[in-house]
Amino acid sequence: MKKSIIFVTLIAALAMTGCKNNSVPAAKVETTTIEAATVTEAETTKADTAEAEKKTELKTIGKEKKGEKVFKVNLTNGTGKEIEEFSVKAGADAEFSENMLEKGDMFKADEERILYFDSEGISENEEGGSADAPLISTEYTIKLKFRSGETAELHQFPFGDIEAGEIKFEKDIAYIIYKSKSTGEAVTTKEAEEKINAPEDTTAAAATEAATEAQTQEFVPDATQAAETPVQQPVYTEPYVQEPVYTDPPATQPYVAPTEAPAPVTQAPTEDAGIDPDNGCGAGFLFN
């Protein structure tokens, strides 16, 4: 139809040019341009309709719901494996939900589906939760079970920050690639999942376990010996240690300088010493 219109317009334009040697009338050019634009718009509308029909035909994970606390995410299975079980749990929950896929319904490789997750009833102490807004939690975990029997987990699934994403699976680790609603940037959780799934240092763990076992190990006697004679459990007593006794040093006497001995006192004889008045010798001495 488009080619026929353009062809007729060109013939008319050439005829007029040959007769009057003038340029193509503007009305004809406008008609061609409008016609072409109309065809392009029709093709675009058809493409949009096909895309809408494709989205309508997408299968779901979980039952379709509407509400402020219902998360809706378009997920593509880019793991290269068929997924037979898909379950979710919140951070504080001890167990995962029931399988959100119908029995026998496989989430095939490269298939796109719509995930519906209702956060109603989950504790609002999760990050971003309120009575009037959906929960935006980094503590949601999705568990996948493949048809091959392998299992994997998507930790800290960003409900509230993701509209569409793709699930990947490499070296027994599952992760997602998506466009962040808050930043508009492409995000991958591969590095975070690798850290979460990294094995512990077996050498350090073994050494710690051995030390703990050595400290807690109890003596267990042989069964035969235990039946014959009782085994006296060793009793640990601390050795006696004589505590040192501290004594003060003897007090020192103050130094006293020696004094000179007093000179002996001699009494001078008196004049009548040795004279007895009653003795005649004395009288004779006087008279001689």
List, for residues 69-113, the tens digit of each pLDDT value: 999 999 999 999 999 999 999 876 678 999 999 999 999 999 999
How much is the pTM?
0.51
Per-residue confidence (pLDDT) for residue 23, from 0 to 100: 46
**32 and 6 Cβ atoms separated by less than 8 Å:** yes
C-alpha closest to that of 178 among 60, 75, 83:
75
- pLDDT of residue 127 exceeding 60, the answer is no
**Chain-wide mean pLDDT for the chain?**
73
Per-residue confidence (pLDDT) for residue 104, from 0 to 100: 93
**Residue 273 belongs to what H/E stretch?**
none
Strand bridging mode 162-170 / 70-77: parallel
| CB atoms closer than 10 angstroms to residue 146 | 19
Q: What is the mean pLDDT of residues 260-266?
A: 65
List, for residues 243-252, the tens digit of each pLDDT value: 776 666 666 6
Main-chain dihedrals φ then ψ at residue 123, nearest 5 degrees: -50, 135
List, for residues 8-36, the tens digit of each pLDDT value: 455 555 555 554 444 444 444 443 343 44
Distance, in Å, from the CA atom of 167 to the CA atom of 175, rounded to the nearest integer, reads 6
C-alpha closest to that of 23 among 10, 32, 13:
13
List, for residues 185-232, the tens digit of each pLDDT value: 999 999 999 999 988 765 666 666 766 666 555 545 555 555 555 666
> The domain at 60-196 falls in which architecture?
Sandwich (2.60)
Domain ranges of the chain: 2-57, 60-196
Sheet holding 141-146, edge to edge: 83-89, 141-146, 151-154
